[in-house]
Amino acid sequence: MHYFDYKNGELYAENVNLKQIAAQVGTPFYCYSAATFRRHIKMFQQSFADRDALICYAMKANSNQAILTLIAKLGAGVDVVSGGEMLRAVKAGFAPDKIVYSGVAKTHAEIEYGLKIGIHCFNAESEPELERINQIAAKMGVIAPVSVRVNPDVDAGGHEKIMTGKAENKFGIPWKKIDGVYELIAGLKNLQVVGIDLHIGSQITDLKPFAEAFERVGSLVKGLRKAGHKIAHVDFGGGLGVPYKNDNDIPPHPDEYAAMINKVAGDLGVKYIFEPGRMIAANAGILVGKVEYVKHGDGRDFLISDVGMNDLIRPTLYDAYHDILPLIEPQDGFETQLVDVVGPVCETGDYTAKGRDLPVFEAGDLFAIMSAGAYGAVQAGTYNTRALIPEILVDDDKFAVVRKRVEVEDIIGLDSVPDWI
């Protein structure tokens, strides 16, 4: 569910008319709904209210400081995958003991910082990483809390670039090697096992792959305990899908997800940790753009907009689908046109939608790309020396610019020319 709806024939974010924002800040821009973020966090928390559970928002989905501060104030934790994200978490007010640090390439400096502030745990992804954490912890005179990320070799379906739980993926340690890895940890004096971790992919709309992976990890937990290892928590990762299309293809509700987990892992006596990102952020944000030209080609028509692949790369990178709505509500019996929605970037891959049946647009019309709150602004760039677009946060009838537009002059100013040229 989200809070972007038509009112009196115009599209609103909560109680703010999106045309009002466009008039003030220009297009394109990202717009987020605070009410939607709050609802999604609280819904996930409520689904596990009867369990000892920590909901750690996966910051990589959307790391704007305003969004992070909002989520921290709801009592959630956070999942980070870089030193930069760890610093963002601290500055946004997350308690260090609610930070879990994932990722395959943790540097010395990042590990030192995590140990210094006292994060909840490192989700380790290889034996060399465990040895590095142990060495750094020994130098600092501390004990590092670690959890091992298991690669369960489960096919979660979906796009190959967002699958993380297959044997050929770079993430985690093969499940058949886990016993030996925990024995390795037992021999490293400055590591303390606190749990076990997994993550099998993103935008998963079927509970079966989750159940298969969680059952496999449940068996590992029981075996590890028999071998004398303390497993206090299971980090089930994230990956629960969201509805990108306005149709009947609705992913499982968090309550269904919770019921499945309780069925396959409820007897383990562990703390639950989750890392939802897309499920929290995707439908809480949109991207508003403007039609620059309507071009009638040979066999197909194009809506040429000011939204480029540098602003939203998901359609090009992941073949992702996003609904597109005009800011002025179409009237009953409105005409449609079959179009490709493309942008200004000098690449054939610069498109938002292909072969889409949309209401008839004219140059100057505004539109909203829906479900753009996750993996949108965080992946945006300045290719073709295009301004980095702003982010707006709406809360009821208020809105604020929570990241200003980075203008072309600012981008050019980052470069320097050596004296010897």
Q: Is 346 assigned a catalytic role?
A: yes
Mean pLDDT on 407-415: 97
The tens digit of pLDDT for each residue in 207-258 reads: 888 888 888 888 889 999 999 999 999 998 988 888 888 655 678 899 999 9
Mean pLDDT of 253-282: 92
pLDDT > 50? residue 156: no
pLDDT for 164 equals 46
The predicted pLDDT at position 240 comes to 87
Residue 170 pLDDT: 59
Mean pLDDT of 127-141: 97
Q: How confident is the model at residue 161 (pLDDT cuts 50, 70, 90)?
A: very low
The pLDDT assigned to 165 comes to 39
Q: What percent of the chain has a predicted confidence (pLDDT) above 70?
A: 94
Strands 285-296 and 301-305: antiparallel
For the stretch 20-79, pLDDT in tens is 999 999 999 999 999 999 999 999 999 999 999 999 999 999 999 999 999 999 999 999
Q: What percentage of residues in the chain have a pLDDT greater than 90?
A: 79
Looking at residue 14, its pLDDT comes to 98
pLDDT of residue 267: 86
Greater model confidence, 195 or 170: 195
Marked catalytic residue, from 31, 56, 121, 346:
346
Q: Is the pLDDT of residue 153 over 80?
A: no
pLDDT band at 181; cut points 50, 70, 90: very high
CB 394 within 8 A of CB 13: yes
CATH code linked to domain 4-31+282-413:
2.40.37.10
Mean pLDDT over residues 301-319, rounded? 96
Could you write out the three-class secondary structure of the chain?
CCCEEEECCEEEECCEEHHHHHHHHCCCEEEEEHHHHHHHHHHHHHHCCCCCEEEEEEHHHCCCHHHHHHHHCCCCEEEECCHHHHHHHHHHCCCHHHEEECCCCCCHHHHHHHHHHCCCEEEECCHHHHHHHHHHHHHHCCCEEEEEEEECCCCCCCCHHHECCCCCCCCCEEHHHHHHHHHHHHCCCCEEEEEEEECCECCECCHHHHHHHHHHHHHHHHHHHHCCCCCCEEECCCCECCCCCCCCCCCCCHHHHHHHHHHHHCCCCCEEEECCCHHHHHHHEEEEEEEEEEEECCCCEEEEECCCCCCCCHHHHHCCCCCEEECECCCCCCCEEEEEEECCCCCCCCEEEEEEEEECCCCCCEEEECCCCCCCHHHCCCHHHCCECCEEEEECCEEEEEECCECHHHHHHCCCCCCCC
Asked whether the predicted pLDDT for residue 177 surpasses 70, the reply is yes
What pLDDT does residue 246 have?
Answer: 64
pLDDT at 60: 97
In which band, very low, low, confident or very high, does the pLDDT at 206 lie, cut at 50, 70 and 90? confident
Share the mean pLDDT of the chain. Answer: 92
CATH number for 34-279 (one of 3.40.50.2020, 3.40.50.2300, 2.40.30.10, 3.20.20.10): it is 3.20.20.10
CATH 2.40.37.10 residue ranges of the chain are 4-31+282-413
The CATH 3.20.20.10 portion of the chain extends over: 34-279
